[in-house]
Structure 1
Amino acid sequence: MHQFKLSKCFSFTASRDWFYRYSFGNAGLRSIKTDLGEGTVMHCWVPKIKNDSKPNLLLVHGFGANAMWQYGEHLRHFTSRFNVYVPDLIFFGESYTTRSDRTESFQAQSVMKMMEAHGVPRMSLVGISYGGFVGYSMAAQFPEKMEKLVLCCAGVCLEEKDLEEGFFNVKDLDEALSILLPQTPEKLRDLMRFSFVKPGARWVPSYFLTDFIDVMCTNYLEEKRELIGAILKDRKLSHLPLISQRTLIIWGEEDKIFPLELGYRLKRHVGESAEIVVIKNAGHAVNMEKPKDFIKHLKLFLFDSVSSDPPSQTQSGLVLHSYWS
C-alpha cells in the first residue's frame, strides 16, 4: 500500500525526464520550438552557441519516449565535435501537426525545414529504428544536404507482404500496434521482451510501468498508430529510392522487431556506399543494450573526416570481422 501511494504522489518517469532535460542543458543545448507553418510545430534541442567551424550532427529517435530518453546517455560523446541537434519527431514529445500526412516523407520534410530555420546547410544523421526511416527519406529527398548516414535497426527495406508472410514475430498489424504502443504493463513487458535480449521487465513492479505509460505513452496515440500504418501501406522494396551517401548500418544480431535479414537487405539495396556491423547479444534496442559498442562504431564512422568516399571492401570487411570473429 505504501508503494502504491508513493507512485501516486511521485512520478519516477517525470523525474527521469527532468534529469534528461537538465543534462541536455548542461551539455550546451537549449530547447526550442519552431513553427513550420501549415499547422506544424517541431521541438528540437539545438546548440546554445552554434560553432560554424564544427560539422552538424542530427540525432533522430525512434518509437518510444521522447528524443531525450533515446540519446541522453550518448549526447556527451558528440557535443565537443559537432553542433548537435536532437528533434522530437511529429507526434512525439512537443512536436505536432494539424495536417493529415503521416508518411516518413512528411516527417523528413518537416525535420529539414526545421534545420533550415536554424541555418544548418549540411548535416550527418543518426537514425534509430523509425528515426532511420525518416533519415533515409531525408537522404533520398535532400542528397545535397546530407553527408554521412547511420541507420540503426531501421527496417526501411521491409515490404507489406513481409507481415502477411509471417516474416515478423507478430501475426498482424493490430498485434504489432498493441506492443509498439503499449497501454498496459503487460504490453510494455512484451515490448521490452521484443526489444532486448535480456529485458528484465518481469522484475519491474507494475506501478513503475504504469507510471511510464501514463507519462510517455498516452499522447497522440491514434496519430502514432497512423504513423505505423503509413510505414507499411503498399510498401515494396522496388519503390524504395536509392541513396548515395556513405552509410553505416548497425543491427542487433537478435533483433525481434526488425529481423537481421532486413539489415542485410538494406546493405544490398544501398550497395557499395554502405557498410554493416552486427552487434552480438543485442536486440532491437541496441543503442541501450550495448551502448559502448554502439558509440564505438558511431565514433569510428562519424569522426573519420579524412574522406567522404564510400568505404572500400577491405574497410567494410574489417568492421564486419571484428564482430564475427
Structure 2
Amino acid sequence: MGFGVVSLLDAVFWRAFTSAGLRPGSAAVDADTTIHFWAHRSLLPSTATTTEQQQQQKRPVVVLVHGFGPGPTWQWAAQVGPLSRHFDLVVPTLLFFGASRTRTPARSEASQAAAVAALLAGGQHLPGLGPGRTVHVVGASYGGIVAYHLARALLQQQQQRQRVGGGGGGLALGLKASTFLMQRSLEDRREEKIELIKGMTTAGGSQLTPLPLEVLIIWGEFDQIFPLEKAYVVKEKLGEKAMVKVIPNSGHLPAQEDPKLFNRILLEFLLQLSNSNAAAAL
C-alpha cells in the first residue's frame, strides 16, 4: 500500500472518529506509563459545556480495545459512528502501539489491562468518567484478551470501592472476546510487540476462568488463525453467561469484513445489557 493511500485512509479514519464526537488525548497514568486515547468530548476536561455534560451523564460508556495491527482508528472506524449514537466511547491505544509507552518490564495482557484501567479511573484525564456510569468493554483479536483482563480489573475496583463504603452508579461489562492474534504490522516497536506475543497467557482460552458477567463472543465462521471451535472452548471457560455469535463467511476480522452485521449483533447485545437490571452497583 503506497504512502499516499495510507495517508488518505488515515484522514478518512480520523474523520470517522471526530464525526463520532471523539477527541484525542494523552494521560500519564503513572510515573512510567503514558496512554494515548480517543474519548467522547463530554468525558474530557474543558471540552464540553455544562448542558452537554448533563445530557450525556447517563449514557453508558463503551471501551473499544484494539488488537495487533494498525492503530485504533483503523480497526474501529466502522464501529465508532453506530456506537456513538447510544454510548460515549473511550478508545485507548495499547502500550507499544502508536505513542503509548511504558518503562515497566511487564509485557502481559494483564499489564495492558491495568494501564487501561488506570486511564478509566477518571481523574484529571477523563473527569466525565466518574460514578454513575455503566461501562462495557469490547475487545477485538489480541484486544479480546486484554478486554477479559480489563473486565477483571474493573470488577476488582468495584469490590474495593464497596469495601471502603463507596457507592453510586453501575458497572456492566460486555466482553466481546473475538479471536486472539492479528497477523500484521509488527514493524513499529517490533521488539516490544514480539515480547507482547511471547507474554500472551490466554490465547485459545487455556487460562480463562468464568466471569460473573454477560459475555458476547463474536467469531468469524472461517477464521484461519483460530478456528471456530475455539469460540466454544472460550465460551465454556467464561461460564454460563457467555454466548457465541458467528459471522457467516467471515475470517479473523469480522468487525472489518462484515461491519454491518457485526455492528448489529454488538449493538443488540450492548443495548440489551444497558437496559437490563443486571448492572451491579458500584
TM class, shorter-length: 0.7 to 0.9
**Which runs of 5 or more residues in structure 2 are unaligned?**
44-55, 159-169
Q: Residues 22 and 280 from structure 1, CA distance in 2 versus in 1: closer, same or farther, beyond 3 angstroms?
A: closer
Please name the residue that 2:67 is paired with: 62
Distance 1:234 1:132, change over 3 A: closer
Q: Distance in 1 between matches of 2:136 and 2:205?
A: 26
Q: 2:107 touches 2:199 (CA, 8 Å); kept in 1?
A: yes
**Structure 2 counterpart SS, 1:92:** coil
Give the match's secondary structure for 1:256: coil
Deviations 1:219-254 (A, max 9, x none): 2111011101100499983x4332111111111111
Does structure 1 residue 274 correspond to structure 2 residue 279? no
Aligned pairs for 1:215-294 within 5 A = 217-232=186-201, 237=206, 239-294=207-262
Deviation (angstroms), 1:302: 0.6
In 1: Cα distance, 2:208 partner to 2:254 partner:
25
AA at the equivalent of 1:125? V
- Structure 1 residues 56, 234: CA separation in 2 closer, same or farther (over 3 Å shift)? closer
What's the secondary structure of 1:73's corresponding residue?
A: helix
Question: For residues 116 and 34 of structure 1, what CA distance do their matches in structure 2 show?
Answer: 11
Count of residue correspondences: 246
Aligned to 2:7: 14
Of residues 97, 111, 118, the one that matches 1:92 is 97
| TM-score using structure 1 length | 0.70
Separation in structure 1 between the aligned mates of residue 95 and residue 144 of structure 2, nearest angstrom: 14
Partner of 1:40: 33
Could you say which residue in structure 1 is the equivalent of 2:154?
142
| Counterpart contact for 1:67–1:86, Cα < 8 Å | yes
1:110 to 102, 111, 115: 115
Unaligned runs of 5+ in 1: 156-175, 183-216, 311-325
The alpha-carbon deviation at position 53 of structure 1 amounts to 1.5
Verify: 1:25 aligned to 2:2, yes or no.
no
Where does structure 1 differ by over 6 angstroms across 4 or more consecutive aligned residues? Answer: 233-236
Per the TM alignment, residue 49 of structure 1 is displaced from its structure 2 partner at its CA by 2.0
Provide the secondary structure at the position in 2 that maps to 1:142: helix
Select between 13-22 and 95-104 the one with higher mean Cα deviation: 13-22
Query: Structure 1 residues 146, 137: closer, same or farther in 2, change over 3 A?
Result: farther
CA deviation profile, 1:29-81 (whole Å, cap 9, x unmatched): 11001011232110110111242121111011111100000111111101121
Q: Secondary structure at the match of 2:149?
A: helix
Pick the aligned partner of 1:180 from 183, 188, 193.
183
Whichever residue aligns with residue 57 of structure 2, its letter is D
Q: Which amino acid letter does the alignment assign opposite residue 252 of structure 2? A: H
Task: Look up the match of 2:179.
Answer: 154
Distance 1:234 1:80 in 2: 33
Partners of 1:65 and 1:234 in 2: how far apart? 20
Write the distance in 2 (CA, Å) between the matches of 1:142 and 1:28.
25
Q: Is the 8 A contact 1:58 1:86 kept in 2?
A: yes
SS at 1:74 equivalent? helix
Distance 1:109 1:65 in 2: 22
Q: Identity across aligned pairs (percent)?
A: 33
- TM-superposed CA distance for 1:141, in Å, is 2.6
What is the Cα-based RMSD across aligned positions, in Å? Answer: 2.4
Contact 2:71 2:97 in 1 (8 A): yes
| Greater alpha carbon shift after TM alignment, 12-21 vs 55-64 | 12-21
Which has the larger share of helix?
1
